[in-house]
Amino acid sequence: MTFAASSRRVRHGVETGVQAGIVSAVLRLPAAVQRRLAGRPVVLDGLTLDPQVQLLLRLQRLGRVPVPDTVGPVAGRPLLDDQAAVMGGDQPVGVVIDRTVAGLPARVYLPTVLAASSDPRPTLVFFHGGGFFLGGLESHDAACRMLARESGVQVIAVDYRLAPEHPFPAAYDDAVAAYTWVVDHAEDLRVDTARLAVGGDSAGGNLSAGVALHAARAGLPLAFQLLIYPATDPGAPSGSKRLFADGFYLTQSFMDLATECYVPDVAGRVDPRVAPLRADIPPGLAPAHIATAGFDPLRDEGEAYGRRLADAGVAVEVRRHEGLIHGFLNWVERGDAVRAANLELAAALAAGVKAR
């Protein structure tokens, strides 16, 4: 490492820490002050945006926080990591281990309750969001720490290949390979295959749904799927995409770039591996918890996938967090409603794999 690179890293860390401190300070203000700073209530589609979320969005606009999709995939990746560090905060967990899964970088998170035991563990294989062209182990580190700690479940996060360098089906193939590898190496990883789950947010929710479908067809063990505001039909229009196309973190321009990067071939965008909403639902598909956000462009397709599963006889719970936006998993504890939603995700995971 050169001195210049080291200096940049230190300076970057200081800036991130300062921003995180500002966010924390603002959220400690009295509720009435936060409400005034946030501005007039935002009401759309019969829903009211959570005032703390509205305030944080306003802070981002006032601070001219760079938007990853405006600078391109490569330059956008460190921006997403930085934003996740600001919003994720410090999330303690028992043990964190870097390792390799199916030839891919991975990170294992062990809650304290499991770290001292050699018994097989309830486990979540986690795939991060980021539109298939952003995100990785760092962007979702705080979220995975929180999920492991609050659920009492071992979390294995997998860093799949990103577009546009690696377009479809690279991410899908990596996700399937990683899950299969975990099953094949369950003893080494101390995974209880009877309490094995797959999950992820956004693009990661898309990959998780695809893995669950594959597992049912292939007869792989899978107890549960945790789909957090999943993209289930990326190339298709919807009412929520029209309503929330701009101003609520995830934008239409970001979604367009994600689709163009991951599936440049327009005809491929209806492939069920890209659009699980269009897939045939096989017998034996694992039960699912699908979380959506009221002010999220992906809301309608996530909920449509829930109806699709229910119509096929799959046990599914669809939970809309009405006042929240896309990306609330990465905000972890930034705001009362965000904290409650993420604790609910952890509880759903624990119940899904019978961890508690």
Which residue in 139, 151, 202, 208 is the catalytic one? 202
- The DSSP secondary-structure symbol of 285 reads P
Q: What is the pLDDT at residue 187?
A: 95
pLDDT tens for 78-122 read 988 988 888 888 899 999 999 999 999 999 999 998 988 889 999
Query: Which ranges in the chain are annotated with CATH 3.40.50.1820?
Result: 89-352
Instruction: Could you please state the CATH topology (level 3) that the domain comprising 89-352 is classified under.
Output: Rossmann fold (3.40.50)
Cβ neighbors of 292 (< 8 A, separation 6 or more) are: 229, 298, 299, 302, 303, 318, 319, 320, 321
Q: How many CB atoms lie within 10 A of CB 313?
A: 10
128 is catalytic: no
pLDDT at res. 180 = 98
Pairwise CA distance, residues 124 & 103, whole Å: 18
- Active-site residue identified among 128, 214, 289, 326: 326
| Active site annotation includes 185 | no
105 contacts 153 by C-beta, under 8 angstroms: no
Angle at CA 249, nearest 5°, toward 246 and 253? 50
Which class for 304: exposed (0-12), middle (13-18), buried (19 or more C-beta within 10 A)? Answer: middle
Per-residue model confidence (pLDDT) at position 1 = 24
Backbone angles phi, psi at 116, to 5 degrees: -90, 0
Indicate if 12 belongs to the active site: no
Q: pLDDT below 70 — which residues of the chain?
A: 1-17, 356
Pairing of strands 288-293, 316-321: parallel
pLDDT value of position 323: 97
H/E stretch holding 193 reads strand 191-201
